[in-house]
Amino acid sequence: MGNQLGSVMPPDPFHDFHLRLPSGFWHAIQDHAASTGVSAGQIVRKAIAEFLDLDHHTLWQLSTSSAVVEGVFKGSLKVADLNEHGDFGIGTFDHLDGEGVMLNGEIWQARADGQLLRAPDDAMTPFWIATHFKEDQACNLPHVSSFEDLGHQLDPLRPSANVFMAIKIEGCFRRICVRSVSRVEEGTSLLTAASQQKEFVHEQLHGTLVGFWSPEYARSFNIPGYHFHLLSNDRCHGGHLLDLEAENLVAGLHLESDLKLALPQTRDFLEADLSGDPSAALASAETGRNVKG
């Protein structure tokens, strides 16, 4: 089977396109690339997508939550390639080496030692969720007492229990608790990895929560309910959200009506048994609490 696996490859989704631009356009693209670190190709692709309204409302996901639960978390895509699929998102890194967060196209790695680093372009990710964020509606959250309370306040803003939402929440968190997991060996279960998580509590922290709400029916490939990662304004702190208390938060919501799922072509993924129900393990790993299946 080893020889066969190498031949299972998806068709190339990209096409070469040669374009002559006026010098003013080209200089503007070069200036923007120099100031943002985004490549000229990414700028042109984003401009075309904006004009044709192709990327907005599309949720792109690499791998499945059930694969992560079963310990399939060897990186299969470079961080540098994530910008092809969005400018807003969350995920993890090779062998669960920390929590990943993407905001305005910048990708950050919150490690278990408490460090927050710009993720290297050649770093690998086994699981990621991304979109081109464009706010459809906004609301103020005058007081949030807990993670559960945050969900209760966001629930009425969702138009349906059957569609995905990208959610950005900004403000000052009076108290916020986040976690990050340490790099583990391939095949380690998600529950075992989560049992070794490091938790961090911050007070009066200004930052942004980047996250998504996913329907219950998506539990075999996504993480049901609310899932947020933190990125502080000073770019010193981050991690997976466990709990919070805050006042005067501003939330922006973005409806996702198109789902694109990219499945890894690695041997571990192709040979894994993903037939089990990951719900209980996901709930326990996401909340940091034991949940009975």
Give the pLDDT confidence of 152-192 residue by residue, as tens digits: 999 999 999 999 999 999 999 999 999 999 898 877 878 88
For residue 114, is it left (φ>0), alpha (ψ between -120 and 50) or beta? left
Q: In angstroms, rounded to a whole number, what is the distance separating the alpha carbons of residues 231 and 239? A: 7
Q: In angstroms, rounded to a whole number, what is the distance separating the alpha carbons of residues 231 and 134? A: 18
Q: What is the pLDDT of residue 9?
A: 40
pTM comes to 0.80
Task: Tally Cβ neighbours within 10 Å of residue 278.
Answer: 23
Of the pLDDT bands very low, low, confident and very high (cuts 50, 70, 90), residue 122 is very high
pLDDT in tens, 35-48: 877 788 878 877 77
pLDDT in tens, 71-115: 898 999 999 999 989 999 999 999 999 999 999 999 999 999 999
Overall fold of domain 56-288? 60s Ribosomal Protein L30; Chain: A; (3.30.1330)
Could you write out the DSSP letters of every residue in 157-224? Answer: G-S-SSSEEEEEEEEEEEEEEEEEPPP--TT--HHHHHTT-EEEEEEEEEEEEEEEEE-GGGGGTS--
Type of residue found at 242: L
DSSP H helices, the chain, are: 2-5, 23-36, 40-52, 65-69, 147-154, 190-194, 267-271, 279-287
Judged on CB neighbours under 10 Å (0-12, 13-18, 19+), 274 is middle
What three-state secondary structure class fits 289? Answer: coil
